[in-house]
Chains A and B, each alone.
Chain A
């Protein structure tokens, strides 16, 4: 389901994402130096990806614009604690973007509570340092896509609910009207399959 929704240019987008991750160090330095052109470059690299991801989650262009703005503002404000030598700017921006979108969904559903604080902690810049270059290769993206295609429909569904709707396993069980244990099995098996295929590719 997820992969069937992907546009024809997915490979190109992935290529951009994965390849750009490698020269993010210089961009991060310029952001830290408050170079006015750096923010423009950051947006050029990740603006469309962030907007696409946020739009996928909130399904509302007006809200998506607000959330993209919030995403980049947050990155700008926290860039000083980012490890520019081995940091992964792209994954961080996407994580911040996804968290803003999920946070928005939860606030609409009046489920903000402690979730917002938790998401905030999970996008802390130090988390995105010391990435292996190979962790974000195009090959891995292809492997992930192939692995996703091999999942069962229920596994694909739980993966989408996790990544793009921000549902916990308990919430998935309620939504899917399935026992929590069953849902956990689907989630774990799906993630395990994805993870193993990527790890297999790395070894190969």
Chain B
């Protein structure tokens, strides 16, 4: 029998290292003769073994394994995942920077808007005050004249516009306190007419809305707690008697 044929039956096991020592030695010696038929058969056996090995159920290795393998041969590549992570980090930092910038810009914008509202509000108040002064129906009343302790100033009363108070030499209210204006009807109890503060020694306060000027006896100002009071709790600082239209 052709010995090569016997060997051909053994090459898969031979290549897998599973032959008994005697069988293996016999094949080793035969291959040393340079038998081309057996060499070709051995290649086929190796190929079949490889295909058989590749049929192991697929299992996904952990991502770190590639880094381990590369590191073991001294290769430390900047992998795409690292690049992606770095790009993501850079974008995050940029986004944060933009966010801070945006926040700062938003704060500035809010401040500008507040200032604009304040200015606009001041202008409206001045326009409102001017409308009192321009109207011939306004009843002006001065107060504080000849008193030893200022403040002094004027009250303007108008049946449709309301009451405008302008005071000078009025010190700023202490902390937790505010000025409160009162309308005192003739023979009646004082009615609250709004809270205000004095800035730089001067104050302007407007109570808008129609009122019965004829029934008004006086306009007064007291110092009250910050939230205001329903009735005066201190001695009036300003009292302006209204004589009527």
Q: Contact residues of A with B, CB < 8 Å?
A: 2-3, 5-7, 9-10, 13-14, 17-18, 36-37, 39-40, 43-44, 47-49, 51-53, 55-57, 61, 64-65, 68-69, 72-73, 76, 88, 90-91, 94-95, 97-99, 102, 115, 118-119, 122, 127-128, 130-132, 135-136, 140-141, 144-145, 159, 162-164, 166-170, 187-188, 191-192, 194-195, 198-199
Given known A-B contacts A130-B43, A195-B44, A65 and B16 have beta carbons under 8 A apart: no
Q: Identify whether the interface residues of A are mostly helix, strand, loop, or mixed.
A: helix
Answer whether residue B15 sits at the interface, using C-beta atoms and an 8 A cutoff: yes
Given known A-B contacts A40-B75, A118-B17, A168-B18, A95 and B69 have beta carbons under 8 A apart: no
Proximity bits, B47-83, A CB within 8 Å = 1, else 0: 1111111111111111001101110110101000000
Q: Which residue of B lies closest to A44 (CB)?
A: B66
Answer whether residue B19 sits at the interface, using C-beta atoms and an 8 A cutoff: yes
Given known A-B contacts A95-B53, A167-B18, A40 and B48 have beta carbons under 8 A apart: no
| Whole-angstrom CA separation of A156 from B46 in the bound complex | 19
| Whole-angstrom CA separation of A145 from B20 in the bound complex | 28
How many residues of B sit at the interface, in one of the four size bands? 35 or more
B52 touches A51 (CB 8 A): no
A94 touches B57 (CB 8 A): no
Task: Determine the chain A residues whose CB is within 8 A of the CB of B42 once the complex forms.
Answer: 127
- Which one of A49, A72, A118 contacts B69 once the chains associate, using CB atoms below 8 Å? A72
A76 touches B44 (CB 8 A): no
Tell me, rounded to whole Å, the shortest Cβ–Cβ distance linking A2 to chain B. 7
A56 touches B49 (CB 8 A): no
Given known A-B contacts A48-B60, A195-B44, A53 and B54 have beta carbons under 8 A apart: yes
B53 touches A94 (CB 8 A): yes
- Which one of A47, A53, A144, A169 contacts B48 once the chains associate, using CB atoms below 8 Å? A144
- Which one of B14, B15, B58, B66 contacts A43 once the chains associate, using CB atoms below 8 Å? B66
- Which one of A68, A73, A140, A188 contacts B9 once the chains associate, using CB atoms below 8 Å? A188
Answer whether residue B12 sits at the interface, using C-beta atoms and an 8 A cutoff: yes
Answer whether residue B13 sits at the interface, using C-beta atoms and an 8 A cutoff: yes
B57 touches A6 (CB 8 A): yes
Task: Determine the chain A residues whose CB is within 8 A of the CB of B39 once the complex forms.
Answer: 130
A13 touches B58 (CB 8 A): yes
- Which one of A14, A73, A99 contacts B17 once the chains associate, using CB atoms below 8 Å? A99
A94 touches B54 (CB 8 A): yes
